[in-house]
Every structure is written in structure tokens, then in C-alpha cells.
Structure 1
Amino acid sequence: MNYSNLILALAVSFVTFIVRSQDRKVPNIVVIFIDDMGYGDITPFGSTTNYTPNLVKMAKEGMKLTSFYVASPVCTPSRASLMTGCYPQRVGLNWGSDHIVLFPGDPHGLNPKEITIAELLKTKNYVTGCFGKWHLGDQPGFLPLDQGFDEFYGIPYSSDMWIGNKNWKFPDLPVMRGNTIEYLVEDMAGQAKLCSRFTEEAISFIKRNKEKPFFCYIPQAFVHAPRMASPEFMANAKTAEEGQIEEIDWNVGQILETLKDLKLDKSTLVLFTSDNGPAGGLSAGPLRGRKASVYEGGHRVPTIAWWPGRIPSESECDELTGTIDLLPTFAGLAKIDLPNDRVIDGKDIWPLLAGRVGAKTPHDRFFYQQKGNLSAVRSGDWKLLTNGELYNLKEDLAESLDVADENPEVVKKLQRMLRDFDIEISSNKREVGIVEGSRTLVPRPGVVGEDAYLPTLVLMKRDKGQ
């Protein structure tokens, strides 16, 4: 017997066991990020229109977060904040190159120098996957595989950026696997399949990586326009919105059941939320405003956190929290130090999610934006808009009564916060990613040569003679 080889084999086995044991001490993390879903669109948050039993069950087994915010009321800036733990102004994505969000072929994107949730978790041996709508840049260097994800299956931008949208000269909508285009969405039947396909890919990822810590990010394309659900959900729905929301609910149920079947539920944190407030045909519930609005309906989103045995069941948290807090919270759970070479705006909210007695929001202020600009601040129950309106959200959640005149000292205090943030962000903002010679991933139908690959916004300007 070769004892040297035996000892080497035993040593390798021991090290592998230790690494895997250490890995299993950190939780799996699943983030389900819905597109354009409003605060009042699901049953746990008051909807009587949409039937969402799986989300009801998720809320009963977990925690509702009723004051959970996105950092922007539109797609790209909101996603940039979730991925980086920063306000979008800080990472240069509060605005695209020439529009509030990124368009096909846009030269702008999330700077590869930014540290995403995926990149941070990979330092702790996490396997990472993104399944759904990316919308943080479609050029080389900006796509998920360049931003810390091991796998990507999805669309590079919004589902309405396709040839079916006659308001713009879009190319076809590509569905990608990694950096390769797998097929094109050609009709509404193809749009209707996106939700289930993203979920199937996410479940496959979870099953293949059940022995490792994983981060599974599922940014669904539903319920962004154009809207159509799978036939079995459209059959009993009065509207496409209802069909899509109920299909989302069913898919959430499939993910949670998969985790239970694999006996991963006790070791997996799942967070369900939306990227901004509701677009047309959807509901903000009791809140004023909608998608793109500075009011609560634009920024406050329906959110449920689930981790059986760790997050208390049938619980509710009304403390101020948001998507900017996910990166530092996940880092804390994974025992990872935050980078010290940059400002991170989010805070670790695990004490709140764990239901610790006396836990409070770590934020003494939170900032809103509209059309890419700083537009409001919330501190405690008070919210001041840059146009001078002041609301007490505890007494007036619907923001129906401007009380600025009755509270001049509060106005002054919050105005200072707005000024301080403006100054601080100007001094500590980082550069957006920019590439030269950007082009669309696929050509516009019926156009030949390089013109077929012109970025959508460049084409628009040329058509307008700009």
C-alpha cells in the first residue's frame, strides 16, 4: 500500500469536508423580484381582485415588510440599487445614456468595478444564478456573467422592448443563456411563457446546487407590459393583469415547494418583492402614486421574507427597510466583510427580519428619486418632497394632506438632509460603465448592414434629425 497516497487522499477529503461544512453554515438566498407589481396587487397586502394563496401562505410562514422601499420608481435604477446596496445616483445609473432606463444597445451599464451581491457572495463559495430580466446593460462587460453570476437565463432588458412595440424601432427580444442568444420572443404567446421558463430554470439551478450554498436571483418579466399569462391562468382571469399575478403566485409556490422537498427550507432565505410601484392596470392599494412617482405608491413595494425557523411566522415589520439593505444583510448572514473602499448606502436589517425585540430601522433618513433626480426624503414618520410638500406618513399614509405650513421646523430639518445628501453624493459618486461602439444584440428585422444594429436611442435621435 502506498501510504503517502492514502494520507494525501484522507487530507483532501478532510479539507473538502471542512469547506463544505463551513459553506453549509451560511444560508442559501433566493430573491424573487417582480416587475411593476404594486403594493395592493397581492392578497397579503389587501388585494381582493387577485387570488394569491401561495403568497398568503408565504406571509403566514414568514414576515410581511410593510415599509419596504426601492431606491427608484423605475426599472434600471431600482435594479442597480438592489445589486450594489447603493442609491442609483451613487453608481451613475439614476439615468441611462439618454433615457430614464437603459435601452437596447445603450452604451451605459452597471460598471464592472461595482461589487454586486453575486460577486460578494462568491467570495464565500456561493454558486450564483440569475433567471429573468437583467436590465443593467446589454453590452459586453455589463451582462450577468460579467457581474458575478455563474449562470444567466433571461432577457437583457424590459419585455416591452421588442418589435411588438410600435412606439420605438426596437430589435427582436432575445432570450439568452449565458452570453448566447437562445431564441427570440416573436409573439404574445412567447411573452406569456417567460414567467414559467424563468422559474423552471431557477428550480433546475436549485436542484443542481442543493449541496452548495447558492444565490438564486429571479427577476421576473411579469407584470410589465405587454401582458399575457399562460393559457391555464388566462382561462379564469378577467384581465391579463389578474392572470399574470396569479401565475406569479403559482410560480412562487413551486419555488417554495422545491425548497421544502429538497429539505432546504430551513437553510434558505427567500425574499419576494417588486422593482417599483404599479404601472397601468395594477394597484398601489392605499398609497398615492404609481410607477415613476415620488409618492409612496412609486417606491413602497409589497415584500415578504421567508426562512422557516429563523424568520418568525405570521410576523409583520413596519420599520423602514429597502432593497439597498439586501447586499449588507446578505453579507452579514454569509459572514462577509463589506468592502471598505467605497460607500455602501444600505444597512444590515437582519435584526428586523429575525424579529428581535426592540429592533429598529438602521436608517434615520431615506431618499427618493423621480426622473433621475433627488425628489424627497423620509425621516421617521415625516416625508418632505423637494417641491415643499410635507406629509406625516403615520397619520396620512395616502399623502393627502400637506402639513408643511404647520411644521416649519420639520421642513427645515428635512431640507438640510436633502442638501447634505446632494453634497455628499456629489463627492462620493462613482462612474457609470460606458463602452465605445455599442450595438444591439440582434438586428432590427428588415434592415441590413450595421444600421440594423444601431442602438435604439441613437436611431431615435437620427430619425428626429438630432
Structure 2
Amino acid sequence: MRYFLLFLFVCSSLLAAQPNIILIVSDDQGYPDLSCIGTKPVKTPNLDKLAATGVRGTDFYVTWCACTPSRGSILTGRYPPRNGLYDMVRNDLVNYGYVYSLSEYSVSPEMTLGLDPKEVTIGDMLKKAGYATGCVGKWDMGQAKRYLPLQRGFDFFYGHGNNGIDYYTHERYGVPSLFRGNERTQEDRGKYITDVFRREALYFMNEHLGRKPLFLYLAFNAPHSASSFPEDTVAGKKKSGVGVQAPEEYVAMYRDTVKDEKLARYYAAVTCMDDAIGELMKTVEKAGQSENTLFLFLSDNGGSGNGGNAPLRGSKSTMWEGGLRVPFIACWPGKLPAGKVTNEFITSLELVPTLLGVAETTPPQDITLDGFDMLPILQGKAKSSRQDMFWQRQDDKAARVGHWKWLDSAKGKGLYDLSTDIGETKDLSQEKPEVLKMMQDRFTAWRREMDATEPRGPFRDY
């Protein structure tokens, strides 16, 4: 009996030491697109509340300027060239109105490419540490069975494996795309997808809150534009965009203040997502788990079709700050200060080490992580140890070292001092040739390190 009671005590102590973790990622939400920032009419009262009771970051970066590689780094804590998923997993012919048959789709890149099975995800690591692990929403790491969440450390999955879907049919340009576990499903066809993801996230939470530490990776597709063809699409011609889809009740909130219909729908999709996040917050509070739950929120890349990312230059798919710097919020009552804004240089590479530290576990010894535990920084107890960050998308390159930013891409190039020029307006390449060379040399050294790592698929030749 004494040993049994000791066993129960140890288990209960471990449970108390491991907080719930809810990691929320939005899709294409721009740097200024929170109402607490105050530059746009977008309404995000629940995210504002998380920021008011937690920490908001102003200098938070992701590892890529579009979704797939960025999300791969969120899940692995590794640069895209290190984990092997350093470009998009998508079928480019959809850009020209091409509708794939199911048989064609089954052998297309969207079905045959994904995150290398050798990679260890945060789901793998937290599950091993005793967490119930759930993934709801946009997976984007591959759709073949070996790539799906249930094979990557998650106990529960409801979502889509590809880049994007129609918000109501849940198809990607005609192909049904939702999975429950490992099986495709059309059970929720016709329902607005943010509402479906909210329902499934709440189901997973209610199954485990207060019983077992949970890790929920809730990856919305909102406010990404819908993967749908408009009625005027002509096969073989570059398609026009449908834009974002949103329920009329939410769009109506913006019609008096936003004259652009597509922008009104973008804001509406953000607000609908914010309401879903608010329900998660209420569920945690009702379960008495507020002080035992860490909420994290970020976007996967910069905004697109959102009316601009000012004061940042550029948008999604560019190496300007507007494509790489994103909104970030962390809230953990009692563990993180309330209402704090940090200007420290931090990135999505810090997420995995931070979550492992929170869960009081460690990564496998043979795994090289590219970030560090940022909890002391969010607490205001330490300065960020990050001095640099590097990006590459095919021939587009960029680096940040200290307050210097360098980029060399088809959409622009130059050297900028972010401490005085956050909008990247004044190219200092001619004035600071020694800094320019230092940045280029640092990028070359980083690229050399990435190339020397153990090969990972699906793009690398090995």
C-alpha cells in the first residue's frame, strides 16, 4: 500500500509539473493584424485579452515567407534546410485553373511529398513525456499515411494535410481534403471550417483537461485565401483569386468601415477565428486550468491580401520584414508577466526548446535544434541570445544579424538598419560595404552548415 501511495504521489506530482500547452497558428495573418496594435479596424478581443494577460512580441520571426517550410520548423525546431522541407508541397498547375482527378492527385506532389519520416516532431517529444497530443487544422506536412499526424506523435487529428481548402466544401480545387485520423472524411461538408476546427479542438480539450497534461496544436487555415476556383476561371489561364471566405454575420461587422469586400472578408475570418480562440480560453478557465495552461499564438508567415503590413515592407512570399516578421503572443498566468511587450529578437525556432523546457523534458540526444528556451526572455529575466537568423527560398536569400538586415532576391535587395529603419526604405549597401560583406559571409557560413547536415527529403538530392 505504501508503494502504491508513493506511486500515486509521484504521478500526481508529475501531472502538476506539466502544464497544458495550446499552440495556435494562424495562416497568412499579417504583423499588424491584431486590434490591440491599433492600426487597423480588425476586431480580435480574445487575442487582445491573451496579450493583456501575457506577453506580446514585436520582433518575432518565422523561418520562411510561406506556409509549408515555416510550419515544418514550428513542429521540429529546425531550419528548413536542416529538416529537409525547404520548399512548398503543392501542385502548381492549380494556378492555371487545372482541376486534378482523384487518380492524378494521388501521384501528385501534394500526395507524395512531406516532412521526412526521420524527423522528430514536437508531438513525438511531448507524447513521450506523457502528454495527450492533438492536432487540429492545417497540417501541411504531407498527406500520404506515413506523413500524417497519427504517425508523427499525435494521438488525435482532424484537419487537412495540404496547403489550403475551400472554407465550406473543404476541397482543394475539387479534391476532398479533410481527414479524421488517417481517413478522408466529408462528414462536415457545408460547415464553415473554422467552426469545425473549434468544435474538434474543444472535444480534444474536454477529453483531457484536468486528467492528463495536453498538447494541442491548433493550426487554423484562416485567414488564408480559399483554395477555390471562381466562376470565371478558364482552364489554362492564370486564375483570379477567390479571396478569403467568411460567414455573413462576421462580414457584416465590417461593411460600414471597410469598402473593399475582400478585405472585409479577411477581417471577418480573423474575427471568427478569434471567437473560436475565445471559446478555448473559456473552456480552460471553466476547468480551473488557467494557471496550468500556456497559450502561444503566432502566424505562419506575413500577411497577404490584408491591406498591407505597415510599418513593415512587403508581404507573404517576400524576404522583406512583412513576409517574415509575424504577430506573437504567449500567456501563462502566474508564470509570465501580464501586459508585457518584448522587443527581444526571437523566432519560431525557439518554440520547440521552450515547450520541452515547460514540459520538463529534453529532445533526443541525436537531434540538433536551432533555437533555445525563450521562457526567461518572456518572463523579462534575460535578454535573447539570438544574434542572427537566415532565410532562403530558392534564389531568394536574407539574413538578420543584430540590427542589420540583408536580402538578395528577385523582388528587391539591399542592406538595412532595422534599429532606425524598420520599413527597409534606405539601402546602406554602398555606405556600409564592410557590413554588407559580413552579412554575406555569415549567410554563406550558415548555408555551408545546412548543406553539411544529414540529408533529409523530399527535395534534397542524396
Q: Same fold by TM-score, threshold 0.5 exceeded?
A: yes
- Deviation of 1:347 after TM superposition, in Å, equals 1.4
Counterparts of 1:84 and 1:43, CA distance in 2: 30
Residue 384 of structure 1 is matched in structure 2 by 406
1:443 corresponds in structure 2 to none
- Which amino acid in structure 1 is aligned with residue 16 of structure 2? R
How far the C-alpha of 1:199 sits from its partner, in A, is 1.4
Cα 1:163–1:198, aligned 2, differ >3 Å: closer, same or farther?
A: closer
Measured after TM superposition, the shift of residue 273 of structure 1 is 0.8
2:75 to 68, 83, 99: 83
Q: Select 2:457's aligned residue among 432, 454, 458.
A: 432
Q: CA deviation at 1:76?
A: 0.6
Look up the SS of the partner of 2:135 in the other structure: strand
Matches within 5 A, 1:91-106: 91-96=83-88, 105-106=110-111
SS in 1 for 2:360: coil
Query: Who is 2:261 aligned against?
Result: none
Give TM-score, length-normalised by structure 2: 0.85
1:120 aligns with 2:143: no
Change (3 A) 1:53 1:11: same
Does residue 202 (structure 1) correspond to residue 201 (structure 2)? The answer is yes
Q: Is the 8 A contact 1:173 1:185 kept in 2?
A: no
Matches within 5 A, 1:43-442: 43-96=35-88, 105-160=110-165, 170-183=173-186, 189-190=190-191, 193-210=192-209, 211-226=211-226, 227-238=244-255, 239-356=264-381, 359-370=382-393, 372-373=394-395, 375-386=397-408, 389-432=414-457
Per-residue deviation, 1:17:
3.8
1:36-47 matches, within 5 Å, as 36-47=28-39
CA distance in 2, matches of 1:182, 1:281: 31
User: Aligned partners of 1:82, 1:417: CA distance in 2, in Å?
Assistant: 23
| C-alpha distance 95-113 of structure 1, shift in aligned 2 (>3 A) | same
Residue identity in the other structure for 2:451 = S
Aligned equivalents of 1:285 and 1:252: distance in 2?
Answer: 25
Secondary structure (helix, strand or coil) at the match of 2:150 reads helix
Q: Contact (CA 8 Å) 1:132, 1:155: kept in 2 or not?
A: yes
Structure 1 residue ranges, 4+ long, deviating more than 6 angstroms after superposition? 97-104, 161-166
Cα deviation, 1:285-315, whole Å, max 9, x if unaligned, reads 3110101110000010011111111110010
Percent identity among equivalent residues? 35
Shift of 1:49: 1.6
- Between 1:15-24 and 1:412-421, the stretch displaced more is 15-24
Cα 1:121–1:39 change in 2 (3 A) is same
SS at match of 2:145: coil
Distance 1:127 1:80 in 2: 21
The separation in 2 between residues aligned to 1:223 and 1:27, in whole angstroms, is 29
Distance 1:118 1:164, change over 3 A: closer
RMSD of Structure 2 on Structure 1 (CA): 2.5
Deviations, residues 258-284 of structure 1 (Å, cap 9, x unaligned) = 111111110111011101111124431
Give the Cα separation in 2 of the matches to 1:161 and 1:369. Answer: 29
* Matched AA of 1:90: R
Q: State the Cα distance separating 1:113 from its structure 2 match.
A: 1.4
Instruction: Provide the rounded CA distance (Å) in 2 between the counterparts of 1:412 and 1:139.
Output: 44
Q: Deviations over 1:308-357 (max 9, x none)?
A: 1111001011111111110011111112122231321111111111221x
Quick one: which amino acid aligns to residue 147 of structure 1?
R
Judged with a 3 Å threshold, the aligned counterparts in structure 2 of structure 1 residues 237 and 37 are, in CA distance, closer, same or farther, namely same
Matches within 5 A, 1:23-38: 23-38=15-30
Q: How far is the alpha carbon of 1:165 from its aligned partner? A: 12
The amino acid across from 1:91 in the alignment is N
In the aligned structure 2, how far is the partner of 1:272 from the partner of 1:310? 16
Give me the whole-angstrom Cα distance separating, in 2, the residues matched to 1:278 and 1:209: 34
Once the two structures are TM-superposed, the CA of residue 206 in structure 1 deviates from its matched residue by 1.2
Contact 1:160–1:224 under 8 Å retained in 2 = no
User: Conserved in 2, the CA contact under 8 Å of 1:73 and 1:369?
Assistant: no
What is the deviation of 1:98? Answer: 7.4
Take 1:136 and 1:409, find their aligned partners in 2: how far apart are those partners? 40
Q: For residue 409 of structure 1, give the secondary structure of its aligned residue in structure 2.
A: helix
Answer with 289-298 or 206-215: which moved more: 206-215
Measured after TM superposition, the shift of residue 407 of structure 1 is 1.3
**TM superposition shift of 1:360:** 1.6
CA spacing shift, 1:44–1:373, aligned 2, 3 Å: farther
TM-score with structure 1 length normalisation? 0.84
Moved more, 177-186 or 304-313: 177-186
Structure 1 regions of 5+ residues with no counterpart? 1-6, 435-466
Range that drifts further, 405-414 or 324-333 = 405-414
Distance 1:72 1:147, change over 3 A: same
Look up the equivalent residue of 2:128 and give its one-letter code.
T
Are residues 425 and 330 of structure 1, via their aligned partners in 2, closer, same or farther at CA, if it must alter by over 3 Å? same
Once the two structures are superposed, what CA deviation does each residue of 1:104-143 show, in whole Å capped at 9, x if it has no partner?
Answer: 6432111121111111111210000001010100001100
The DSSP-based 3-state class of the residue aligned with 2:142 is coil
Amino acid at match of 2:295: V
